[in-house]
């Protein structure tokens, strides 16, 4: 009797535990057209959800960027020094870029001391130089093809040089009333004029294609200086700070920050009291090497960036965002 009763309960529970059994029975009682419509509904819903997902994931990052919250750009990086190289302590560095074969192109400033030069990375030796007229104060520089483009301070005048011998080829008029920084992605030029504006410039006509105001949490990031294009981003020194801001090359959205006070502090501690601010970023794309230096710095550093684990609260607004300094008013 015990075995038989268990068998009956088992059979009954088997029927009760199948959640589709009653549905199947009900479906069987429906006319054929209704049964087919019942199964079409979930198929339609699934198809609609699939199409929506495909549309969502096909939207470009630019179209989604307005939805990015401020919390997503609180990425603050510190640096690890990989190598140190000699650098001309009399070079008032305004533009810096990697030229290949362990050499750099550098633009230096100051009236009567401005130059365009090719420098050996490992020794700091100046291999070739073009000294500028004393009326011009050299600023940012970038390389597009075989041409070096350079802007000048407090003027809309710029120059183009040939990379092989640094011969000046032509003069151009920049869309920026004051030249500070230049970079390129190989197609267009990116420029800064010491304000919070990032320019997109046509290298053929030297006309501004776009202008974007860089803001961080509602505050304009003024004093954008030397620029470098790195893996789809624009990295910009912020003048008078130990900060580099990382920007989207498609617009002006802030992607993160690099905080580098340790480099300048080490130089000061070692008696280099005549140094000026951090300025100069160079990227070796082939070997993934990143170099930085500063104005009148005796060293050039190869660094790696890494996220700061415990950055100070409100670090960026306190040390990286300053009021705009307008030299024309001083």
Distance from C-alpha of 231 to C-alpha of 242, rounded to nearest angstrom: 22
Q: pLDDT band at 329, cuts 50/70/90?
A: low
DSSP state of 323: P
Give me 176's structure tokens: 């920026």
Q: How many angstroms separate the CA atoms of 321 and 260, rounded?
A: 15
- The residue ranking higher by pLDDT, 254 or 36, is 254
Q: Which residues on neighbouring strands pair with residue 245, listed in sequence order?
A: 236, 257
Element (H, E) at 105: strand 103-108
Give the mean model confidence (pLDDT) for residues 48-55.
42
Q: What's the half-sphere exposure (Cβ side, CA atoms, 13 Å) at 217?
A: 13
CATH 2.120.10.30 fits 71-323, yes or no: yes
Distance CA 81, CA 88 (A): 19
| Dihedral in degrees, nearest 10, Cα atoms 300, 100, 129, 155 | -80
Least confident segment among 37-51, 126-140, 232-246, 283-297:
37-51
Answer yes or no: is pLDDT of 129 > 70: yes
Domain boundaries, the chain: 71-323
Give the side-chain half-sphere CA count within 13 A for 259: 19
If you average pLDDT over residues 14-22, what whole number do you get?
A: 40
Cα separation, 301 vs 235, whole angstroms = 16
* pLDDT tens-digit series, residues 91-120: 999 999 999 999 999 999 999 999 999 999
- Residue-level pLDDT at 57: 37
SS3 72: helix
- Here the tokens at position 34 are 């209704």
Establish how many alpha carbons lie within 13 A of residue 24's alpha carbon, considering only the half-sphere containing its beta carbon: 5
Burial of 286 by CB count in 10 Å (0-12 exposed, 13-18 middle, 19+ buried)? exposed
Instruction: Report the pLDDT averaged over residues 218-240.
Output: 97
What is the predicted pLDDT for the residue at 312?
80
| Phi, psi for residue 166 in degrees, rounded to 5 | 60, 20
- The number of CA neighbours under 13 Å toward the Cβ of 18 is 11
């Amino acid at each position: 009797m015990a075995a038989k009763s268990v068998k009956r309960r088992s059979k009954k529970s088997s029927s009760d535990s199948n959640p589709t059994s009653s549905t199947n029975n009900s479906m069987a009682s429906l006319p054929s057209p209704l049964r087919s419509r019942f199964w079409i509904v979930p198929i339609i819903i699934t198809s609609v959800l699939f199409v929506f997902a495909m549309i969502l994931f096909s939207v470009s990052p630019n179209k989604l960027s307005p939805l990015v919250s401020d919390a997503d750009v609180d990425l603050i990086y510190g640096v690890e020094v990989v190598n140190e190289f000699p650098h001309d302590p009399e070079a008032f560095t305004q533009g810096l870029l990697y030229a290949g074969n362990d050499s750099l192109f550098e633009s230096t400033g100051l009236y009567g001391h401005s130059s365009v030069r090719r420098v050996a990375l490992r020794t700091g030796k100046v291999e070739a130089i073009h000294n500028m007229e004393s009326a011009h104060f050299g600023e940012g520089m970038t390389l597009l093809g075989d041409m070096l483009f350079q802007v000048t301070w407090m003027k809309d005048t710029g120059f183009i040089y040939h990379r092989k011998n640094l011969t000046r080829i032509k003069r151009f008029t920049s869309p920026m009333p004051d030249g500070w920084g230049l970079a390129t992605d190989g197609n267009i030029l990116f420029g800064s004029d010491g304000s919070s504006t990032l320019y997109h410039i046509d290298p053929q006509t030297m006309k501004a294609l776009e202008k974007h105001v860089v803001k961080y949490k509602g505050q304009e990031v003024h004093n954008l200086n030397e620029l470098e294009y790195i893996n789809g981003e624009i990295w910009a020194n912020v003048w008078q700070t130990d900060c580099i801001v990382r920007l989207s090359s498609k617009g002006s959205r802030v992607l993160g920050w690099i905080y580098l006070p340790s480099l300048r502090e080490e130089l000061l501690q070692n008696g280099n009291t005549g140094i000026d601010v951090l300025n100069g970023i160079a990227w070796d794309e082939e070997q993934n090497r990143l170099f930085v230096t500063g104005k009148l710095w005796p060293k050039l550093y190869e660094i790696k960036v890494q996220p700061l684990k415990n950055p100070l609260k409100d670090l960026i607004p306190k040390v990286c965002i300053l009021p705009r300094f307008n030299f024309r008013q001083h």
